[in-house]
């Protein structure tokens, strides 16, 4: 689920109430998402398993994935975690996830407000979904959702976009060109970025060129979060920070997110902040 938000209280901008305003070819046609970002190595799921081994006493019995998208991470984790539940804002994603993973429960819901009336051993919010929450109100609402579905000992895993990588490192690029060449989808893309350093907001306009079709234009805004800001958000909600990393191997660094891989068509590879916390 990917949301942009309400009542922005970042210094330098007036508080405003907004509704989700992103658009994406990959959300309108979710089958394309897995073709564009195949992740054959299942590195995200392997990272989650590493965190489970490191910080949980046993394999969790239940997981809630907020912003589950096409459900592919849950599809991997469901092999060892029996109670899997996904929530996404977009009906198109949920319908696609249900069709592809019939043994998993999926709901349409807003990560700022959804309440399922139960808690889980593991809560995840991946695909930089947290960065779609623009401003304090949306961020606090989403953190409140994490807390509402966590009991003492619940492990939380989130991966917002790392502000240090964009503001201090080499994460920001004004323009990134991409290419997708698969049997099911062939296209090129051009992503143009604007960075508001004061508000720490990244805006991306991506144009898809598909042979024989009219060009498609995506748009999104992302809140870039500093490591200390994530800690400030989570601790009052009852979470203890266990670790923060700028890599999926959970290797300690200075968190500046030095880019070591080529940008993919999202232009965000290597620019995440991987955060692990436990509910007290």
Instruction: Map the chain to HEC letters.
Output: CCCCCCCCCCCCCCCCCCCCCCECHHHHCHHHHHHHCCCCCCHHHHHHHHHHHHHCCCCCCEEEEECCCCCHHHHHHCCCCCEEEEEECCHHHHHHHHHHCCCCEEEECCCCCCCCCCCEEEEEECCCHHHHCCCHHHHHHHHHHHHHCEEEEEEEEECCEEHHHHHCCCCCCCEEEEEEEECCEEEEEEEEEEEECCCCEEEEEEEEECCCCCCEEEEEEEECECHHHHHHHHHHHCEEEEEEECCCCCCCCCCCCCCCCCCCCCCCCCCECEEEEEEC
- Give the pLDDT score at 264: 61
| Confidence at residue 169, expressed as pLDDT on a 0 to 100 scale | 85
* pLDDT score at 240: 98
The pLDDT assigned to 13 comes to 29
Q: Tens digit of pLDDT for each residue in 168-223?
A: 888 899 999 999 999 999 999 999 999 999 999 999 999 999 988 999 999 999 99
Instruction: For residue range 78-112, list pLDDT tens digits in order.
Output: 999 999 999 999 999 999 999 999 999 999 999 99
| pLDDT (0 to 100) of residue 170 | 83
What CATH class has 25-162+224-279? alpha beta
Q: Sorting pLDDT into bands at 50, 70 and 90, what band is 270?
A: low
pLDDT over 60 (residue 2): no
């Amino acid at each position: 689920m990917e949301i942009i938000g309400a009542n922005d209280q970042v210094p330098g901008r007036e508080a405003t109430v907004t509704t989700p305003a992103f658009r994406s070819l990959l959300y309108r046609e979710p089958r394309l998402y897995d073709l564009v970002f195949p992740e054959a190595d299942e590195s995200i799921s392997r990272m989650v398993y590493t965190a489970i081994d490191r910080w949980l006493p046993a394999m969790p019995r239940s997981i809630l994935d907020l912003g589950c998208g096409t459900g592919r991470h849950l599809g991997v984790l469901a092999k060892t975690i029996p109670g899997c539940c996904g929530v996404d804002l977009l009906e198109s994603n949920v319908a696609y996830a249900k069709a592809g993973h019939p043994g998993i429960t999926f709901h349409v819901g807003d990560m700022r407000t959804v309440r399922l009336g139960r808690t889980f051993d593991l809560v995840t919010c991946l695909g930089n979904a947290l960065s779609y929450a623009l401003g304090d109100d949306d961020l606090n609402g989403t953190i409140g959702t994490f807390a509402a579905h966590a009991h003492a000992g619940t492990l939380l895993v989130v991966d917002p976009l790392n502000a240090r990588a964009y503001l201090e490192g080499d994460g920001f690029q004004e323009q990134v060109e991409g290419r997708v060449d698969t049997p099911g989808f062939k296209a090129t893309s051009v992503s143009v970025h604007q960075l508001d350093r004061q508000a720490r907001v990244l805006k991306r306009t991506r144009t898809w060129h598909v042979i024989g079709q009219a060009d498609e234009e995506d748009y999104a805004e992302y809140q870039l979060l500093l490591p200390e800001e994530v800690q400030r958000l989570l601790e009052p909600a009852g979470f203890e920070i266990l670790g923060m990393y700028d890599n999926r191997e959970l290797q300690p660094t200075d968190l500046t997110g030095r880019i070591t891989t080529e940008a993919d068509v999202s232009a965000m590879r290597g620019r995440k902040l991987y955060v692990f916390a436990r509910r007290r």
